[in-house]
Each structure stands twice: as structure tokens, then as C-alpha cells.
Amino acid sequence: MADAKREIERKFEFTTTEAEGRGVPDLTGTAAIAAVTDQGTVELDAVYWDTPDQRLAADGLTLRRRTGGADAGWHLKLPVSPGVRDEIAAPLGDTVPRSLAALVRSRVRDTGLEPQVRLLSSRRVSHLLDAGGNVLAELSTDAVRAERDRAGAAWTEVEVELADNVDPALLDAVEERFAAAGLTVSHAPSKLARALAETGHEPPARTEPGPAGDTAGGHVLAYLREQRDALIAHDPAVRRGLPDSVHQMRVAARRMRSAFKTYRKVLDRAVTDPVGEELRWLAAELGVDRDQEVLMERIQSRIGEIPRTLALGPVRSRLRIWNTRRRADSRRRALAVLDSKRYVTLLDTLDALLAEPPLRPAAAEPARRVLPKAVRREHERLARKVAHALSLDPGQPRDVALHEARKAAKRARYAAEAARPALGKRAKRQAKAMESVQTLLGEHQDSVVAREALRGLAGQAAGAAESAFTWGLLYGREEAVAERLERELPEVWAAAHEAAAY
């Protein structure tokens, strides 16, 4: 089983040979640092693995097999933000561990991983302590030698990595102290990046053709590429079970599919429609796990709102058992999808489509001429959906119509968000207005789904000779919520319609 930890660090390099000769200054007295203790020197031997075209390095990921030191093993580092990475560790072995290979699959796909660079480091380690003797950070001074093919490079690097729960402001204080001693923040984000640069093997920049940025095609393709990249980037987080990751990955898929439909004057739907169907499949499969998570949170919240005297029978235990079974199944299903050939084919298809986009004549026209029409068309489509839903009597047909209106509101919102770089404030206003409608209709649909779940829980309780009273009470409350939202919809829609008007 792989272990994970969050790294918050800053790397430094000497600005001159003279500064390097003086070495690292004493940090005692810097911010909360009361003492610096020498921990000795370790010899590290790390081999970095990547695809032949360096897909991991291009996205800022590093995968290495390292011996020496206290944490020998395999390490995968995933960028979170500048100076912050998640390190996933696995036991030492001769081949890439399956747990780590899975986390890079959205980048690697069917291409093999191979040794690329070897880094030999002589590391002198010190601990930075506070007045109570607690470790604030680890200070490492590395004499590094890089080897790739017949090329080589050598340099000295200084790294300060914070201990858990230490204020990152400490790094700013260290940086200020280092600057006075001739050390500056390293330009390279990692040892691997520097090794590749100094041996002449930097990963090739990703270039994808398309019309100029101010054209309709330029803006739509930029948006689609952003969503494609988000889809790939969220894949490891979904596999790790990180909060909100499924939702974010699902949103990226939906945004791409929505853009294919909205901007059909820009991209040929004969090409994009089949891809959109695959994105719909992916979002739906991922949604099984996400929807269960949202549903569980909703029912738990509703139980917390009622007096304890009305919670008859083992309500919370029944809910917990029900959720555990459903989440286990949905989690397995989501991971199976990400491990499937169909998913990898979808990612390859998206890359191919964006490398050779099926542009229509409107793609070459100015964005300000083409995009507003598409955004307005989605708004008008939503207006028809809302009007139809409001014309129906309360009940199942209206619930279905409101759900369709919700999907139309989401599509109208995505259309405006995609157009925002070109249209500015008016697209932002449109997106915000559509979000208000989407939120209300989403709450309504959540109530519909919750009522169906509560009906099932009541049946399970009755079948186990438990009281079904509480589940019926919660069902009635959800009905009241839905009725209130339906009464509010005309006013919310009128305000959104007016705010979104061009």
C-alpha cells in the first residue's frame, strides 16, 4: 500500500562561486528557529522514470526509485502548487509499483515507463528546531551529480522542507536570510527538471495547432484544452479518493461535452458528437460515486435536523450500512472505469481531436461575433425548458421537466464561462445568473433523488421489523422542500433572465 504526505519546501542555489564556498549561513535566530542540529550526511542514488517523450516531466511529475537514506523506495511526486507537492511512496522493488503506475496512467496510458535520469546526491542534513526542541524544518545541502546517456551535470542545491503544521511564513524568513548570504530561490522546480535542462533533454513544449486566440476557434479550443488538462490532472486524485476530486473530474467532462454542443458552428459535430457521447459515459460512471456521496450527506443532514425523540429505531445504523454497501460498489465501479481501455482510448481521442480540430468556417471569425450568438441560443433554450416545466402540474412529469431545465441551465452557464475570456463582464454576469437557476433546480433534483432513497430505506427498515416512521417523516420534509423551491423558481428565473439579457 502506498503512503502519502504533503511536502512544503523551497529550493535554493548559490548565486556565485564565492557564496558557495562560504556555504549555508547559520539560521539560528531566524524567525522561530532557536537551534540547528547536524544530522550527518547520507548518500542517495535515485533513478527517475518517465515515458520516452517525458510526459511526466512535461506536467511537473516525478517518479523515482531511490536507495540510501531513511526513505528508500519508490516515490511519485504530484504538483499541488508552487513549492507544494504530494509525495506518494511505495516499497523498494525492481519494477514500478502498480499503485504508482495507476496514478500516472492518465498521462502514460499505453506507453511504457523507462529509466531516464540518474541522480547521485551527497546530502548533508540538519534539523531546524524551535525553543522547545521541536523540529520546524529539515535543511538539506545536496552535492548533486546527474547522468543521462553520455551527458552529465553537477551542482549544489539547498532545500528547506517544513515539518507538518509549520507556518509557511518560515520559508519566507529563511529566503530573506539566504539572500543576504548569496543564495536565491532555484529556477528549477525539481532536481529532475534541472538535470534535464543541464543535460540538454528538457521535455518538448506541447504545441497544438488552431486559429489565433482572438478568433472564435481560438477561444473555444483554449477552453477545451483547459478542460482536457483538468480531466487528466484530476485522475490521480480520484484514484486516491481525495475530497471533491470525482466532482471536479466529472465537471471537466461535462464542460467539454457541453462546449461541443454549444459551439457547433465552430467545431464539426459529426466529429465531436461521438466524443461527446464517450464523455457522457465517463461522467455518468463517475457520477455513481459522487451522487452517493452527496445523497449521504443530505440525508445525514436531514436526520440531524429532527429531534432525537423522532428518530425511532436504529436510523443512523441503517443509513450507515446502506451507504457503506453502495459506496463500496460505486468506488469499485469508478476505479474500474479509470483502468479500462475505453477510458484510455477516450483520452487519446481527445488529444487527437485537439491536435487536429475539426474546425468549421466560423472558427476563423472574431470571437465577439460568434460566441454571443451561441451563448444567447443556450439562454433561449433554457427559457423554453423552464416555461414548459412551470406549465405542468406538480408531480413526476414536472420533476422530470425541472431536471431537464437544470441540465439546460448548466449548459447555459458553461457556455457563458467558456466565452468569458472573449466577452468579459457580460459573460460573467450571464454565468452567474445561470448558476442561480442551476443551484435552485439542483436542490430540487437532489430532493427528488433523496425521496426515492428514503422510500427504499423505509422498505428496508420495514423488512427488518424496524420502525419506518423516521424515514416517512424525512420523506415528507423533502416533499416540502421541493414544493418551496417550485414556488421560488418563477421569481429566481425572472431575475436571472433579466440579469443575463444582452
Alpha-carbon gap, residue 470 to 209, rounded angstroms: 59
- Main-chain dihedrals φ then ψ at residue 440, nearest 5 degrees: -65, -45
Q: Facing residues of 66 across strands?
A: 46, 73
Residue 11's closest CA among 85, 70, 111, 112? 85
pLDDT at 1: 44
Residue type, 403: H
Residues of the chain with pLDDT under 50: 1
pLDDT at 2: 60
Q: How many CA atoms lie within 13 A of 390 on its CB side?
A: 17
Which grid cell sits at 171? 520559508
Residue 437's closest CA among 390, 479, 392, 397? 390
Cβ partners under 8 Å of residue 228, min gap 6: 252, 256, 350, 351, 354
Residue where the block lists cell 514500478: 96
Is residue 232 within 8 Å of 379, Cβ to Cβ? no
Is residue 11 within 8 Å of 185, Cβ to Cβ? yes
pLDDT at 150: 83
Alpha-carbon gap, residue 239 to 98, rounded angstroms: 12
Is residue 477 within 8 Å of 301, Cβ to Cβ? no
CA–CA–CA angle 339, 329, 244 (5° rounding): 70
Is residue 36 within 8 Å of 127, Cβ to Cβ? yes
Is residue 88 within 8 Å of 2, Cβ to Cβ? yes
pLDDT at 82: 87
Is residue 475 within 8 Å of 454, Cβ to Cβ? yes
Residue 485's closest CA among 406, 410, 430? 406
The answer, as to whether pTM is greater than 0.75, is: yes
Is residue 168 within 8 Å of 178, Cβ to Cβ? no
The end-to-end CA distance of the chain, in Å, is: 55
Chain-centre distance for alpha carbon 420: 21
Cα separations in angstroms, 492 against 394, 435, 443? 18, 11, 13
pLDDT at 138: 97
Cβ partners under 8 Å of residue 147, min gap 6: 117, 118, 119, 120
- Main-chain dihedrals φ then ψ at residue 163, nearest 5 degrees: -75, 170
pLDDT tens digit string along 325-367? 888 778 888 899 999 999 999 999 999 999 999 999 999 999 9
Is residue 188 within 8 Å of 197, Cβ to Cβ? yes
SS (H, E, C) 438-501: HHHHHHHHHHHHHHHHHHHHHHHHHHCCCCCHHHHHHHHHHHHHHHHHHHHHHHHHHHHHHHCC
Cα separations in angstroms, 502 against 421, 429, 439, 499? 17, 10, 22, 9
pLDDT at 329: 79
DSSP secondary-structure letter at 206? P
pLDDT at 458: 96
Is residue 83 within 8 Å of 159, Cβ to Cβ? no
pLDDT tens digit string along 256-295? 999 999 999 999 999 999 999 999 999 999 988 778 888 9
Dihedral sign computed on CA atoms, order 279, 280, 285, 286: positive
